[in-house]
Structure 1
Amino acid sequence: MVADIWLNKSHQLVPGAVLYNSPRSFDLWGYSPTFGRLLLRNGHFPDGRHDGVRVDVLFQSVRAMKLRQRYEGLQICCASEEACERIRRETPQTTYLGGDRYDHSDRFFVLESGSGFDYVVAGAIGWHEDRAPLSWPSYFADPIPSPAIL
């Protein structure tokens, strides 16, 4: 089974909507501040079972985040208006001269897993599900340059 989803349009990201829900464990797999890319990866269930399926969740153009290293089960929602206001209050460093530096392209996502309030403010979210080994680069990784270019 292979699944590809990419969400970055307003009609796809309705406040309060559940975008992704999984009983699997997810780890913070990588972050690139240069490109604002945040990757969460799953390969196992909380009990340690592995069914051969790998899921990568990518946030693109990340502006702010509050995360855990590991999620035992994960639900990602579009933030409600109340959650957006809470995120704005928790991220005062993202204001500039008293104005809101978040713009119309920024989307507010809430990550739920047990207790706590985690979030990512980013331009888009996507996920890819495949049967590749966990050690392989992400589907979302930049392509490896051809040897002729090196």
Structure 2
Amino acid sequence: MEEFNVKNFLFSSSATVYGSPKYLPLDEKHPCTGDAITNPYGKNLIGEDPIGRPNNIMPYVTQVAAVGRLPHVNVTDTDYDTSDRTGVRDYIHVVHFATGHITCMKKFKENCGLQIYNLGIGKGCSILEMIKILEKVSGKTIAYKECPR
């Protein structure tokens, strides 16, 4: 960064940078452990096939509902203390995501050093709730199967 005189850098990622949560809900003070490589580039570096089966809900549902490449979505985490026993995630609309980036870039002027900002709406949606929402907006039935981890 110094060699090329880079003064500002905005890195956008997901909650997966925190690895296995030490506490919930995750916040900006949570340690980034890196104990779980979850992005496609990182997985490719260790030899995983980037066009294989996805492990997160959106591309998985797309391969089932839109493309017909897979017969069903595997829902593997069904032992959570939630209303439908599936994991809950805080999704964000792309417009809010872009607005968050612009807001972060305005902070560059303050030369405030390393800052971490978690973007979200503060309301989680379970895996099964997300499948039902995607069924509603797509008009297609999305087959899913509860499986062991």
What is the TM-score of this pair, normalised by structure 1? 0.24
Q: Which structure is richer in relative contact order (CA contacts within 8 A, separation 6 or more)?
A: 1
Structure (1 or 2) with the greater helix fraction: 2
What is the TM-score of this pair, normalised by structure 2? 0.24
Work out which of the two has the higher radius of gyration on C-alpha atoms and give 1 or 2.
2
